[in-house]
Amino acid sequence: MNVAVFGGSFDPPHLGHEEIIKKTLQNLDIEVLFIVPTFLNPFKESFFAPSSKRYKWVEKLLKNYPKTEIIDYEMRQNRPVSTIETIKYLLENYKLDKIYLIIGADNVHTLPKWRNYNELKKLVHFVIATRDDIKTPKNLQKLDIHVNISSTKLREKIKKEYLPKLISDEIIKYYEKRGKMNDKIEKIVNILDEKKAENIQLFDMRDKDYVVEDVIIATTLGPKHGLALLDYVKNELKPDSKSYFNIEPSDEWTIIDMGDIMIHLMTPEYRAKYNIEEFLSQRIKQNSNEI
């Protein structure tokens, strides 16, 4: 079986991605096109939309395209996955004769840095999706893509005309809301850091069937410090919030429920005793495996 593999963050999926899908199906002699959303690109430090959300967007987009199949292997690993690992997974689970690996022209110069690149190039046939007049080696097969869109720029300023119609409204709604949330989270973390809270951790619980979207945990220097941190947070964030907190103040463990964000301020002893981090990490892993 001849297949093509097109992986990416799809953060968000845009018309450039859709054009690559169209051109791949039109121009390559394949039985199926595998679309592989990443959990996290090995060359990046973070994502904006969680993998489960990006998976659902891509899955909905592919309903319009026969001979396509979405592969959740990388997402199920809950970590960055190298391309060679994914290719070996496909070889182990499908009877493949030829693999076309679709990559963007902007990635060509980094190919030698890819894990086990010399082994990878023996297993796949590289196909370059052109972009922004970036020059590519003449010996590599190309897909002429004339939609120059960057996911990074789209996240900075989301534009409906650059998004697939089928999923444009939900993408816009998500990124506009998430941008405001990220600003609020950054402000909270900065307040806690400036006021000497320790070991500040953020847990992204979006699409994890949890009561809030984000959880912030910080260690206090003691009971009085925890209550002082509560006052700092209330005073600094009050202008940004109409409704506000459900607050459970305590000398050892203060909980601030903001509806979409929950903050735990804990003494070292309580944090070690209750180990909320382990519970949240297991919840994230469980939901990732259920995709």
**Domains of the chain by range and CATH?**
2-166 (3.40.50.620), 186-289 (3.30.460.10)
C-alpha count within 13 angstroms, C-beta hemisphere, residue 69 = 13
- Confidence at 87, pLDDT banded by 50, 70, 90: very high
Amino acid at 44: K
Q: What is the mean pLDDT of residues 31-49?
A: 79
- Confidence at 46, pLDDT banded by 50, 70, 90: low
SS3 229: helix
Q: Which two tokens stand for residue 235?
A: 């005073």
Question: Tell me, what's the pLDDT at 79?
Answer: 81
Q: What is the mean pLDDT of the chain?
A: 88
Q: What is the mean pLDDT of residues 250-277?
A: 93
From start to end of the chain, where are the E strands? 2-8, 32-37, 68-70, 98-104, 125-129, 141-143, 198-204, 214-219, 246-248, 253-257, 261-266
- Confidence at 291, pLDDT banded by 50, 70, 90: very low
Separation of CA 36 from chain center:
13
Question: Tell me, what's the pLDDT at 241?
Answer: 54
Question: Tell me, what's the pLDDT at 243?
Answer: 53
Please enumerate in sequence order all residues whose Cβ is within 8 A of that of 72, keeping only pairs 6 or more positions apart, or say none: 37, 55, 291
Q: What is the mean pLDDT of residues 204-232?
A: 89
Q: What are phi and psi of 11, to 5 degrees?
A: -125, 65
pLDDT at 260 over 90: no
Q: Which residue has the higher pLDDT, 5 or 189?
A: 5
Q: What is the mean pLDDT of residues 136-143?
A: 86
Global confidence as pTM:
0.70
Question: Tell me, what's the pLDDT at 242?
Answer: 53
- Confidence at 180, pLDDT banded by 50, 70, 90: confident
Kindly report whether the peptide bond that precedes residue 12 is cis, defined as omega within 30 degrees of 0: yes
pLDDT at 107 over 50: yes
Among the listed residues 141, 151, 167, the one whose alpha carbon sits nearest the alpha carbon of residue 63? 167
Q: Which residue has the higher pLDDT, 291 or 245?
A: 245
Question: Tell me, what's the pLDDT at 282?
Answer: 81
The kind and range of the H/E element at 194 are: helix 168-194
